[in-house]
Amino acid sequence: MKLPASIKAAYQRWLDKRIPSASRVTLDQSRIFIVPTRAGFLWLGIAVLIFLLAANYQNSLAFGLTFFMISLFMLSIYHTWRNLAGMTVVARGSEQVHAGQTTQVELELQSEGRERVAITIGWPDEETTATSFSSSKRLSLGCRTISRGYFQPGRFKVESVYPLGLCRTWSWVKLDFHSLIYPAANSSRDLPSASGEGEQLGKATTAGQESFAGVRSFNSSDALTHVDWKGYARSGEMNTKLFQDNVGSDIWLRLNETGVTGLELQLSVITGWCLVCHQQLIPFGLDLPEQKIDPATGQAHLEKCLSILALCGLAKKQSGDLV
Amino acid sequence: MTEKTSKNSALPQQEFVSRASTVWLIVALLMVQLPVWQEIPIAISAVSVLSIVWRVLILLGRGFWPPTWLRSLLVVAAMVTVAFSFKPLISLESAVAVLAAGYSLKLLEMRSRRDALVVVYIGYFLIASSVLFSQTLLQTLYLFACIAVLTAAQQGLYRRSTSIKVSSTLRYAGMLALQAMPLTIILFLLVPRIGPLWSVPLPDNSARTGLTDEMTPGDIARLSKSDELVFRARFSSALPAPQERYWRAVVLDRFDGKTWRQSDFQRSRVARTDWKTNQPVVSGWWQTQESDFDYEIMMEPTGKPWLYSLGQSASVPKDSSLLRTLRLEANKPVDVRTVYSIQPVTPEPVSLKPPEWLRKINLQTPDVGNDRSRKLARQLWQQSGNDAVKMADRVMLMFRQEPFFYTLNPPLLTSAGRSSIDRFLFDSRQGFCSHYAGAFVYLMRAAGVPARVVGGYQGGEVKEEENLIQVRQFDAHAWAEIWVEGQGWLRYDPTAMVSPERINSGLEAALANEGSFLSDSPLSLHRYRQSSVLNGIRLAFEQLEYRWQRSVINYREEQQREFLSSLLGKGDLLQKQTLALIVSIAFLLLLSALLLLKNAKPASAELALYQRFSKKMARRGFQRSADETELAFAQRVSKQSPELAAVVSQFTSGYCKLVYGADKHEGIDKLKSILRQL
């Protein structure tokens, strides 16, 4: 690679910002299906009735009408198919959420030269939307996440019956996303007491020193880290926690201290703890069988920990190739 | 450009009908009902208007959806109207009325896409039924417009955006319809035609203007007011001279003192074979005039069985018979446009003596009345030395020399009772063809010469370039035939004595002074034959119409067989036809696939640039796979051939900035110059 370093860096920065980890699918012959709709079969039925009429009355124009209806039907196969063919669906990423929550999936549809009309896109069980565009279009679709790890939504359907509703053409598209789905947060268990296990690191820690003063409703100037996320998850009200005194005593979070069995449950509990610690500005570290993260605080630390928890015990990459 | 999705996971079938589509469907309703409005009872039309107004009010936000009871009431009212308006109930007209009512009422409950589709489909049925009533060129063009509007409506159902221009929707629908034409034409030509599968109610022609088999003076005057087409005759031989253009239709040989009628042989005791035959008759049926005319007649439906022939016919077309009176009759009433051809016949001279029953019919006169005419007839008979031809000449001379006038508005003869012939010959002396023909035949019969009135058409408009004569209702005419021993039936046209213009130049010339030609139809193009531009347009259009009727409308089983065997050669036609059908459909589908699917023009300049770039890379052996991004492709190319890396990545990053970035028009020239380096 003989690219000048400055160009390359600019190019990478721009790439990360503009098309974060996009993967794309172009709908071509092998990916598109097409069959007549009920309305299409009815249309053919009516053509047959008019044919009988034409035969019985020996009426050339009625014959012509029948043949026209059949021709229009054939033509609509092309037009319907053409509405989808060659279109590209690009995954532009999704919000990072906890498993079980709904994420907003950002998609971009690229037309590649044709006007696309009334294309329905989405997960049939979740959210679908219809759109028309001529060069490209961004969409955001809600999708419920099921398990932690790389976000792997099921195949979603791209569908169209335009222009005459006589045929339905569709494709099931699977896109790769880079976003991680964090484990579901389980906050039913109390934080482990730091003192009990503290001697391992030779550092005495005290828990429960912070003086939690209560909550008030969220102001836009409040730090996001002080938001009462738990309360938000329960009630949907965004409140800010007020502290009188922040004590930074380190906590190590370990799988075997969760008091539950099963990796998924344990990870859920730890995720819940991470969030609590993060809220309460308690420095926390992860002590997992594969990895160890030193105690720290801050948004970046939280995201790092959550990412590790999301991928804990999973093969390095279960979804398709990243571009 | 991120669009927030609406929580609309409803099934497509349950979607609402857009305003644009509703408007299209209302327009379509008005359009498809127009050609058949005469067949629809007024009450049904009223229901249509009510539905449309109501629907428009809803559309404007000022109305409410009619409750179920009201809709049920309207349905019941419509059905009752249909039940009482039509006798017999099962007829084409009643079916059209039901469809029209269905279309209108469905508009009032059209809330989902599915309802709207039902409306569109009923619209297609209405179009199909209106072509059963008329298949003219204008009607066809009009119905094509109807189809375009229906297609626009149907297309609008599936298009969500409501802010689409009327013209662009219509253009799109028209384009779809035009694209469907090639396949339509192929199917039309090649799909094997089948004959009627079962008998169906035919359009009711009883209200049509046209000849009847009764002649009361006044009927022909009524016909003369119409410029409706009766038939067209296309000659393979030379055209007949103007004085030869007598188109026979009915033979009126019974007279009750007021009205001339056609004898019903079916009721007489004459054996059937004696008055009716399906074989061409060369001898024995008193066909005495040689006919070298070879022609084909395309006649408009009349609802009556008789066919037209130039002079006395002897050749018998398919599905028809020849009667003793030397006229043709179809086996069933002509309810659809029919084409038949008549071949030349050379009769063999045979002994010419009519059977006694026929002679008796042609001598019949009412026992009482018209005494002065009887006296005159006897007088003339004696003066002409008991010679039928001389007698006829004397009568003709009388019409010419004495003050008889040709007019379409003669004084009424109804008060004359049984002596209408006397009143005409001696008092009023004004009349038109039926008066003169009737009086002539009466005089001949009174003198003992078998004679009869023949009704039909005389003249017609010649179209040289097509070798065609076109006959219209105002060409209706009546003349006489007398029986002359040894010569058979001879034609005499007393009208020619009174108004020679009528015979040589047609009705318009005959009425030049009176000004009553088509006086009731000021819009008829035939009134304006003097204007060369208008007349030119009319003639050109009529020519087009004739070709349309002859080639397209008349394309039936037989014509298809003829056309295809001339195209594909003889032999197993069905097999060849099937093969041709399959091959041409396959070819067309392939062609449309190529035209429609491959012709994906790049939407933007940058995309075109990228395609040029892709081509250049392909020449160097790099092909971007479908799921590879532009950047990934650039990286791969750079890795595999580092000498290209600089240009490729420069191009790709520039391209991506152009496509995904905010500054749209800045970099395109730069990109072009980079591309040139490759």
pLDDT at A19 over 50: no
DSSP state of A147: S
B325-350 in b/e form (b: 16+ CB < 10 A) is bbbbbbeebbbbbbbbebeebebeee
Tokens at residue B439, please?
Answer: 């009086």
pLDDT of residue A216: 66
How far apart are alpha carbons B42 and B25 in whole angstroms? 21
Nearest residue on chain A to B625, alpha-carbon basis: A26
- The tens digit of pLDDT for each residue in A83-136 reads 888 888 887 777 788 888 888 888 888 887 778 888 888 887 777 788 888 778
pLDDT of residue B515: 67
- CB-CB: which of B6, B7, B642 is closest to A2? B642
Q: Give A323's pLDDT tier (boundaries 50, 70, 90).
A: very low
Kindly calculate the radius of gyration of chain A based on its CA atoms and give it in whole angstroms: 28
C-alpha to C-alpha distances, B287 to A156, B133, B280, B457, nearest whole angstrom: 84, 38, 11, 20
Least confident of A163-177, A192-206, B43-57, B440-454: A192-206
Among A177, A117, A127, CA closest to A157: A127
Give the catalytic positions of B in this structure.
Answer: 433, 477, 493
pLDDT of residue B88: 76
- Rounded to 5 degrees, what angle do the CA atoms A129, A134, A136 make? 70
* Overall average pLDDT of the B560-576 stretch: 84
Q: Give B349's pLDDT tier (boundaries 50, 70, 90).
A: low
* Overall average pLDDT of the B434-447 stretch: 91
pLDDT at A300 over 80: yes
Q: Looking at the complex, does the CB of residue A55 fall below 8 Å from at least one CB of chain B?
A: yes
Among B387, B233, B198, CA closest to B311: B233
Q: Give B530's pLDDT tier (boundaries 50, 70, 90).
A: low
C-alpha to C-alpha distances, B300 to B127, B309, B323, nearest whole angstrom: 21, 14, 22
How far apart are alpha carbons A121 and A127 in whole angstroms? 9
Bridge-based pairing of strands A292-296 and A284-287 is antiparallel
Beta bridge partners of residue B471, listed in sequence order? B231
Share of chain A above pLDDT 90, in %: 11
Question: Which of A72-86, A95-109, A147-161 shows the highest mean pLDDT?
Answer: A72-86
* Overall average pLDDT of the B665-677 stretch: 74
Least confident of A102-106, A114-118, B9-13, B52-56: B9-13
pLDDT at A317 over 80: no
Of the residues B124, B318, B339, the best mutation for testing chain A's interface (the one with the most A CB atoms within 10 Å of its CB) is B124
pLDDT at B185 over 80: yes
Tokens at residue A72, please?
Answer: 């229009």
Q: Give A203's pLDDT tier (boundaries 50, 70, 90).
A: very low
A15/B656 touch (CB, cutoff 8 Å), yes or no: yes
pLDDT of residue A205: 38
Tokens at residue B250, please?
Answer: 């009915």
Contacting A residues, span 254-313, partner chain B, CB-CB under 8 Å = none
- The tens digit of pLDDT for each residue in A239-264 reads 776 654 444 467 888 887 777 778 88
- CB-CB: which of A14, A72, A141 is closest to B176? A72
Q: Which residues contact B615 (CB under 8 A, 6 or more apart)?
A: none
B135/A61 touch (CB, cutoff 8 Å), yes or no: yes
pLDDT of residue A315: 59
pLDDT of residue B34: 87
Q: Are A177 and A90 in contact (CB under 8 A)?
A: no
Q: Are A194 and A250 in contact (CB under 8 A)?
A: yes
Tokens at residue B649, please?
Answer: 């990545």
Which chain A residues contact residue B171 at CB under 8 A? none
Instruction: Between A11 and A21, name the one with better pLDDT.
Output: A11
pLDDT of residue B242: 83
Q: Give A208's pLDDT tier (boundaries 50, 70, 90).
A: very low
Least confident of B6-20, B79-93, B588-602: B6-20
Among B308, B296, B359, CA closest to B549: B296
Beta bridge partners of residue A239, listed in sequence order? A217
DSSP state of B553: I
pLDDT of residue B184: 93
Among B272, B270, B289, CA closest to B281: B289
Least confident of B190-204, B217-231, B633-647: B217-231
What is the rounded average pLDDT for all residues in chain B?
81
Contacting A residues, span 90-129, partner chain B, CB-CB under 8 Å = 106, 111-114, 117-118, 120, 122, 124, 126-129
pLDDT at B340 over 50: yes
pLDDT at B462 over 80: yes
Q: What is the dihedral of CA B654, B658, B659, B662, to 10 degrees?
A: 130
Q: Which residues contact A290 (CB under 8 A, 6 or more apart)?
A: A312, A313
Q: Which residues contact B625 (CB under 8 A, 6 or more apart)?
A: none
Q: Looking at the complex, does the CB of residue B7 fall below 8 Å from at least one CB of chain A?
A: yes
- CB-CB: which of B1, B183, B645 is closest to A2? B645
Tokens at residue B205, please?
Answer: 């022609």
pLDDT at B606 over 90: no
B5/A142 touch (CB, cutoff 8 Å), yes or no: yes
Share of chain B above pLDDT 70, in %: 86
A323/B143 touch (CB, cutoff 8 Å), yes or no: no
pLDDT of residue B433: 86
B384 CB burial (10 A radius; 0-12, 13-18, 19+): middle
- CB-CB: which of B183, B554, B607 is closest to A74? B183
A64/B188 touch (CB, cutoff 8 Å), yes or no: yes
- ipTM exceeds 0.85: no
How far apart are alpha carbons B291 and B315 in whole angstroms? 10
Share of chain B above pLDDT 90, in %: 13
